[in-house]
């Protein structure tokens, strides 16, 4: 019997139980997936201690981590994978002998899904484009923006980060440079019509990493009012509930190829499952379990 779970707060919206229960059932593994709604540190230190004791004793075989704990759990771990260390955030914890290892499957999950999307219609209309000739615009400056920017830089994209709070984006990029997490310069601009308009002609990919448009605030849109979309760009919204956000509807109406974050959600979960079990994850069954939200 294997036991997995998710730590974060709040967790009422999480689809992780559906994903991992489907994987366990498909592979005929006896086990379960539990939600652990733990409030932010320091007031939750006792709950943290109890949960990590379960991990160390083997009573819990693997743990996913979400907001607001992706950075705070690092102090409780023995080791980080190179990706988790570079990104400075953990979303998966697994046991290696007697050690607890923190990993980040958001990065390879995003890369794998982006590749899949581009191979099936999301590629620019330009002839045989190469990633290094592409310019990506990342909306937001939180933890998801950090993972996405790292991933895009890693596979050779030029990246601009747009945020409503410029100082937050500047601090994020600075912290990534300090740990040598990026290979090339990530530029930072205000998330407004004027700043994005100046670079719009270069953009071939827009990635929304903000929660704007997520249920229940489905009418919120991070794209600046009055600004047309870049031509030939792929618009990728990490939000997957609702399946089509206000951003994606507007981009689709402008004739652009769009995708939501469901593919990344499934892929990062599949990679976590593989870390825990050592078995190939049944991605088709996992996707089917969350396709209808």
**Domain shared by 134 and 230, yes or no:** yes
Query: What per-residue confidence (pLDDT) applies to 126?
Result: 44
| Residues 6+ positions from 120 with CB-CB distance below 8 Å | none
**What's the whole-number average pLDDT of the chain?**
93
Q: How many domains does the chain have?
A: 2
CA 74 to chain centre: 18
Which among 70, 130, 174, 177 is annotated as catalytic? Answer: 70
Query: What per-residue confidence (pLDDT) applies to 127?
Result: 38
**Domain shared by 134 and 187, yes or no:** yes
Any catalytic annotation for residue 174? no
Model confidence band, residue 64 (pLDDT cutoffs 50, 70, 90):
very high
Report the relative pairing of strands 99-103 and 135-139 from DSSP bridges: unpaired
202 pLDDT above the threshold of 80 = yes
Residues of the chain above pLDDT 90, percent = 83
**Domain shared by 183 and 271, yes or no:** no
Residue 62's domain comprises 2-104+264-291
Query: What per-residue confidence (pLDDT) applies to 13?
Result: 81
Model confidence over 245-260: pLDDT tens digits?
999 999 999 999 999 9
Model confidence over 77-124: pLDDT tens digits?
999 999 999 898 999 999 998 899 999 999 999 999 999 999 886 655
Contact of 143 with 73, CB cutoff 8 Å = no
CATH number of residue 166's parent domain: 3.40.50.720
- Measured CA to CA, the distance from residue 146 to residue 176 in angstroms comes to 8
Backbone angle region of 143, left / alpha / beta, with phi > 0 → left and psi within -120 to 50 → alpha? alpha
Model confidence over 151-192: pLDDT tens digits?
999 999 999 999 999 999 999 999 988 877 788 889 999 999
Buried b (16+ CB within 10 A) or exposed e, 24-40: bebeeeebebebbebee
**Domain shared by 138 and 49, yes or no:** no
**Domain shared by 271 and 181, yes or no:** no
Query: What per-residue confidence (pLDDT) applies to 179?
Result: 79
Average pLDDT over every residue of 214-222: 94
């Amino acid at each position: 019997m294997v036991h997995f779970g998710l730590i974060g707060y709040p967790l009422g919206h999480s689809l992780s139980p559906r994903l991992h229960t489907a994987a366990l059932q498909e592979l005929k593994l006896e086990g379960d997936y539990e939600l652990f709604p733990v409030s932010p540190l320091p007031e939750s230190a006792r709950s943290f201690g109890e949960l990590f004791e379960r991990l160390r004793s083997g009573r819990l075989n693997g743990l996913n981590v979400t907001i607001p704990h992706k950075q705070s759990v690092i102090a409780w771990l023995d080791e980080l994978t190179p990706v988790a260390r570079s990104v400075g955030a953990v979303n998966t914890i697994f046991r290696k002998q007697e050690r607890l290892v923190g990993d980040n499957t958001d990065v390879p999950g995003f890369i794998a899904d982006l590749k899949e999307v581009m191979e099936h219609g999301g590629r620019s209309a330009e002839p045989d484009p190469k990633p290094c000739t592409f310019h990506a615009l990342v909306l937001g400056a939180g933890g998801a923006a950090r993972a996405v920017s790292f991933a895009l830089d890693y596979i050779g994209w030029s990246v601009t980060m747009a945020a409503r709070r410029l100082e937050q984006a500047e601090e994020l990029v600075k912290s990534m440079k300090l740990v040598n997490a990026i290979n090339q310069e990530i530029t930072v601009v205000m998330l407004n019509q004027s700043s994005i308009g100046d670079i719009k002609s270069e953009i071939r990919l827009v990635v929304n990493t903000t929660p704007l448009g997520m249920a229940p605030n489905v009418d919120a849109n991070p794209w600046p009012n009055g600004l047309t979309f870049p031509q030939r760009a792929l618009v990728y919204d990490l939000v997957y509930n609702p399946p089509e956000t206000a951003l994606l509807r507007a981009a689709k109406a402008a004739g652009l190829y769009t995708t939501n974050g469901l593919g990344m959600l499934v892929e990062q979960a599949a990679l976590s499952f593989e870390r825990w079990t050592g078995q190939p994850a049944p991605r088709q069954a996992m996707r089917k379990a969350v396709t209808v939200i």
